[in-house]
Amino acid sequence: MIASKRYFLLFLILLCYGMIKAQSLYDKDTLRSLYITFDNPDWHETLVANWFAQNGLRENADLEMDGILYEDVAIRYKGNATFYIANSSDNRKLPLNIDMNDNNEDQDLLGFNKVKLANAIFDPSMLRDVLGFSIYDDYMPAPEANWLNVYIDEEYIGLYPNTESINKQFLDKHFDYKKGVLFKCDPNSQFGSTDPWTSPDLAWYGSDSSAYYTRYDLKSETGWAALLELLDVLNNQAENLENILNIDRALWYLAVSTTIANYDAYNGLFIHNYYLYQHENGLFQMIPWDVSESFIGILIGNDQVGEEGLYEWDIFLENDPVEENRPLLDYVRNHPLYRKQYLAHIRTIIEEVLDIEALEEEIEYLQGSIESAALTDWNAFFGLGPLFFESNTFETTNFFGLEVAGILSTAIERKNYLLNHPEISLSPPQISEVQHLPENPVSGLPTFVNAFVENGDQVELMVTKNKYASHFQAIPMYDDGLHNDGLAGDGIFGAAVPYSNTGDHVKYYIRAQNPDAMMLHPQRAEYEFHEYIIEELVLVEEEEAPRAFLKVNPNPSRGMFTVEISLPESDPIILEVYDTLGRRVSAKRLVPNHLPISLDLSELSPGIYFFKIGTLLTEKVLIIR
């Protein structure tokens, strides 16, 4: 009877877990259907007119999903080329922007206020939005994405990539702060118009904010002064850039974009499709957007560079084929440290993403989850999507002269080019056995970080206690036997952490360099890092542990000491000696039942030292001459 109850409880737990998991709007394992019914019978004509008028007006509709009815949602068409070209070809599968609480502030769709549906008109594989964002998400905050089947007025319109909106909900989720300055970095020029393309290139066009209105779309209530400060610093005071831009996050954005051949980005053919967000810590963050051209996509065969040029797109654009102003890339290119860090990030992404066998498995898994829907979506890819749905994942699709690169074929070509790049192919240091000691740091006592490093001659502890994991400071690590690093020259580097207060939340990673290259540990730093929280030191009262003592005689001494120790445990222990700077200067393995012992420290300079056994016992001694 007891076993039956136990199994029943387990069944309920698993059932509840499955129900909670299925409630995620962006669960890739669940393909939902969305049913839309508009109030206005002429909704399509009205929304098309609104798109061309650029007035942002919406039409009211009811929405049903999972048997739940949502009334009075507000919908408009979105997109640029994806709308214009689809609409011009009389394709009903137009991209949608759904506002769940425009008319009802308490309404959301599984917790989300906005739903953004792309039509993937240039992607017969239907994968690039979802696959691309999942890759960016490993290295920086990025939208979630999956798919929805969409019906309008009982007509099946097709399978839509469903992408999380970059709004206050997104900012609160990823940054725990939603009141910062937010810009969508996309030209205001409308596809099909004669308006010039004005790239959000981060260049300086003077102190008049109106010079930037066609390049950047302000999404927060205020922000032009903050944006101009960023652009001024980048272009005119670059030595201060670390104070206003999260440079590492920008390096990850550039590295992912170039590695997965997403050339519809800042360092691609067209400079756009990213957001800038100024966090509470004062630093602007780059956030990726619209990754539907990942793995080249429809850009293949571009007249400016050709197919071969796209596979071999220069990671630094030192000979920019489109001759655009890109001061951020100029900054990275010309900064010795950040150039190495950018290359280190690219190596990590090659290793983790361009593993062709693993990538193929991921593609097959994702495509298998939507296959039945995609093969009935005759509105996709100019009405021929089902014919190229599977083949476009492996090879270039040629449709009456319109070429769309294959995802895997692009990954293979791009990986081959990158691995043979003269700087990427250089050998970086190798880092392992990273640890902080003691394992559970306590206030008032030193904490050290160790790492085993090969092929590196400059090793640094990058550490911060900033609650937003930013503003890491570099502390040199040494392999000299004096920094809690074991023996001099053994490959183990050590450094003391500069924080020791109760409650300090310490985040750190290791940065190692040689003249050619850099390596980080963890490799996804600064997005990932090692961490610990310093606990309060609680002293054990003597009556609770009467047998624990550490006695050192004579004290002071000329360096010759007799050490007596009594501990409840009889296992071997380590007696450590530290100087007043927190550096470990000696260590000796002791067996409690072989005490007392004589300890010769006469080679040390005169001064104050501390004998320590873990965090339990400490004795201050003085060496004199």
pLDDT number for residue 459: 98
Q: Of the ranges 435-439, 533-537, 598-602, which one carries the lowest mean pLDDT score?
A: 598-602
Neighbours of 170 (CB within 10 A): 22
Q: How many whole angstroms separate alpha carbon 177 and alpha carbon 279?
A: 7
- Give the CATH fold of the 430-533 domain: Immunoglobulin-like (2.60.40)
Neighbours of 237 (CB within 10 A): 12
Mean pLDDT across 217-234: 97
pLDDT number for residue 607: 80
pLDDT number for residue 505: 96
Provide the mean pLDDT of the chain: 90
Q: Of the ranges 218-222, 476-480, 536-540, 601-605, which one carries the lowest mean pLDDT score?
A: 536-540
User: Which of 209-218, 435-444, 584-593 is most confident?
Assistant: 209-218
Higher-confidence residue: 356 or 399? Answer: 356
Of 308, 294, 325, residue with least CA distance to 200? 325
438 pLDDT higher than 60: yes
480 pLDDT higher than 70: yes
Q: Where are the beta strands (DSSP E) in 125-189?
A: 145-152, 155-163, 182-185
φ, ψ dihedrals at 408, nearest 5°: -70, -40
**Dihedral of the CA atoms 122, 125, 126, 131 (nearest 10)?**
-110
Q: How many whole angstroms separate alpha carbon 191 and alpha carbon 625?
A: 83
pLDDT number for residue 323: 65
CB 581 within 8 A of CB 482: no
7 pLDDT higher than 50: no
pLDDT number for residue 383: 87
Mean pLDDT across 522-527: 97
pLDDT number for residue 410: 96
CB 185 within 8 A of CB 275: yes
Q: Of the ranges 157-161, 364-368, 401-405, 547-551, which one carries the lowest mean pLDDT score?
A: 547-551
Q: How many whole angstroms separate alpha carbon 373 and alpha carbon 381?
A: 14
pLDDT number for residue 563: 84
pLDDT > 70 fraction of the chain, expressed in percent and rounded: 92
Q: Of the ranges 383-387, 451-455, 568-572, which one carries the lowest mean pLDDT score?
A: 568-572
Q: Of the ranges 180-189, 275-284, 509-518, 606-615, which one carries the lowest mean pLDDT score?
A: 606-615
List, in order, residues 6 or more apart from 306 with CB less than 8 Å away.
none
pLDDT band at 588, cuts 50/70/90? Answer: confident
**Dihedral of the CA atoms 264, 270, 273, 277 (nearest 10)?**
130
Block residue for tokens 């709308």: 83
Neighbours of 580 (CB within 10 A): 10
pLDDT band at 547, cuts 50/70/90? Answer: low
Q: Find residue 317's DSSP bridge partners.
A: none
Mean pLDDT across 29-46: 97
Higher-confidence residue: 307 or 430? Answer: 430
Q: How many whole angstroms separate alpha carbon 108 and alpha carbon 625?
A: 76
- Encoding tokens for residue 83? 């709308």
Q: Output the CATH code of domain 549-623.
A: 2.60.40.3080
Q: What is the pLDDT of residues 415-432, one digit of tens each?
A: 999 999 999 999 999 999
254 pLDDT higher than 90: yes
pLDDT band at 541, cuts 50/70/90? Answer: low
pLDDT number for residue 9: 43
- 611, exposed or middle or buried, with CB in 10 Å at 0-12, 13-18, 19+? buried
Q: How many whole angstroms separate alpha carbon 136 and alpha carbon 291?
A: 9
321 pLDDT higher than 80: no
613 pLDDT higher than 90: no
Mean pLDDT across 401-405: 85
377 pLDDT higher than 90: yes
Of 464, 493, 472, 524, residue with least CA distance to 341? 524
pLDDT number for residue 592: 63
pLDDT number for residue 595: 67
18 pLDDT higher than 50: no
C-alpha pair distances (Å), 304 with each of 211, 307, 321: 28, 10, 7
CB 267 within 8 A of CB 306: no
Residue 584 is which amino acid?
Answer: R
Cα angle 142, 147, 149; round to 5: 155
**Dihedral of the CA atoms 331, 315, 138, 266 (nearest 10)?**
60
Mean pLDDT across 279-305: 89
Mean pLDDT across 288-315: 86
Block residue for tokens 């054990």: 540
23 pLDDT higher than 60: yes
pLDDT number for residue 330: 94
> Per the omega criterion (within 30 degrees of 0), is the bond before 187 cis?
no
Element (H, E) at 388: helix 385-388
